[in-house]
Amino acid sequence: MDYESIQTDQELADLCDRIADAPAIAFDTEFVSEDRYRPELCLIQVAAGDVLAVIDPYGVSSTLPFWDLLVDPQRTVIAHAAREETRFCYRYTNQPIAGLFDTQLAAGFVGLEYPLSLGNLVSRLLGKNLAKGESRTNWRHRPLSSEQLSYAIQDVTDLQEMHQQLLEMVEKWGRTDWLEQETIARQEKVLKHESTENWRRVSGCSGLAARQMEIVRHLWRWRDRRAEQLDRPAKRVMRDDLIVELARRGTSNLKRIRSVRGMEWRGYVDLHEEIAAAIQAALEVPDDQLPRRTRQNRTSISPMLSQFLATSMACISRQNKLAPSIVGNADDVKDVLAYELNSKPTEELPALMQGWRGEIIGKTFRRLLSGDAAIRVANVRKEQPLEFIDLDDDPQVGQ
């Protein structure tokens, strides 16, 4: 397979000029994330018409010219499971990918499973198996072998071919708008994660009191700054469970901080005063500026009702040839119940009652919760044995 190897700024500029008018660009990335603050971009594979290329980020001063192509709405950009690609694009351009067609996402809208790996999707649609010999490649290593580069470039040639098949299926099923809505929403979620403080994601902090949550926030900020300085994953700077335990204790007293199991580790010894300062700053925040709960109170939600609606959601999804995992999860169901049982008029609609999800899930949920509809076993031998019925229309109901 012939492809270009882009190793210099001039070669990158020439490539971008030649594919600037391409109606579609398929691309993939190879990166390493396990020991860095942010994933390290190691390779970009590109297919645009007959042009195949691999861009070496270590050989050029910046890959920005390529990312600039992807924010131009005049073309379709094809990628698979594009979360990390979206993050890279945002870091370089401060914009999402325009015209993104995510093959993994599209597959979930046309009756295939979600999430399918690239290899499994290639097998399902193209009837071939991807080579696995280079799946554990150290993509930082240079020089990369011809076998490694051929393995990498194969991904984007397959993306080009699958795009056409999936596009035809999405259009045939009338789900173009749904796919576009979901693509935009998922990119927005990624960008929000990139641009906002995610201290609420500290594991184990959800049940803490407001002052304790403020301590979590300050310790998270301290950890994040230090992780960025060291270019190290944040949890290697300080584990979540230690942040939560320090928040529970709620003191900046050095002796009490040192008494927490785990804080005696030599990597923390020189940081105790910094940690104490972060906690003290949190203790001085006025009460009216403390964080509030973001999720509604779910303590009164019946587990049985949650399970019933979760089953209903899976049933509706299958009936509509949608992968249930693309539609929602147990937390989304609980959000609906919390909203219906406890909501105020100003509260935002939960995800399952907005957009395309509202069309197929939200309306049925409301009828089920109001008692105007029910679910029953229609045929135990069918793959989808359950069906929904309108109680007012069924003469057998109530007899």
Residue 384 pLDDT class (50, 70, 90 cuts): confident
Q: What is the pLDDT of residue 381?
A: 86
pTM confidence score = 0.88
Q: Convert the pLDDT of each residue in 72-91 to its tens digit.
A: 999 999 999 999 999 999 99
Q: Do domains 199-289 and 303-393 have the same CATH topology?
A: yes
Give CA–CA dist 126/237, Å, rounded: 44
In the prediction, which pLDDT does 383 show? 80
Identify whether the C-beta of residue 39 lies closer than 8 Å to the C-beta of residue 33: yes
End-to-end CA distance of the chain: 70
pLDDT at res. 289: 96
How far is residue 84's CA from residue 160's CA, in Å, rounded to a whole number? 19
Residue 397 scores a pLDDT above 70? no
What is d(CA 205, CA 223) in angstroms, rounded to the nearest whole number? 16
The reported pLDDT for the residue numbered 149 is: 94
Structurally, what CATH architecture does the domain formed by 199-289 represent? Orthogonal Bundle (1.10)
Percent of the chain with pLDDT over 90: 78
pLDDT for the residue 299: 55
Output the pLDDT for position 399.
Answer: 43
Chain segment 165-200, per-residue pLDDT in tens: 999 999 999 999 999 999 999 999 999 998 889 999
pLDDT computed for residue 183 by the predictor: 97
Report pLDDT for 398: 44
Domain range list for the chain: 4-195, 199-289, 303-393
pLDDT in tens, 338-358: 888 876 655 789 999 999 999
Residues 21 and 14: their CA atoms lie apart, in Å, by: 13
Task: For residues 18 and 253, give the distance between their C-alpha atoms in angstroms, rounded to a whole number.
Answer: 63
Domain 303-393 has CATH 1.10.150.80: yes
Structure tokens at 382: 């069918």
pLDDT tens string 153-173: 999 999 999 999 999 999 999
- As a whole number of angstroms, the distance between CA 246 and CA 224 comes to 16
| Angle ∠(116,95,21) on CA atoms, nearest 5 | 80
Task: Report the C-alpha gap between 330 and 311 in whole angstroms.
Answer: 10
Domain over 4-195 is classified CATH 3.50.50.60: no
> Which pLDDT belongs to residue 88?
97
The answer to whether the beta carbons of residues 18 and 51 sit under 8 Å apart is yes
3-state secondary structure of 239: coil
Residue 296 — very low, low, confident or very high, per pLDDT cuts 50/70/90? low
Burial category of 242 from C-beta neighbours within 10 Å (exposed 0-12, middle 13-18, buried 19 and up): buried
Model confidence band, residue 148 (pLDDT cutoffs 50, 70, 90): very high
Q: Residue 15 above 50 pLDDT?
A: yes
Residue 133's pLDDT is what?
64
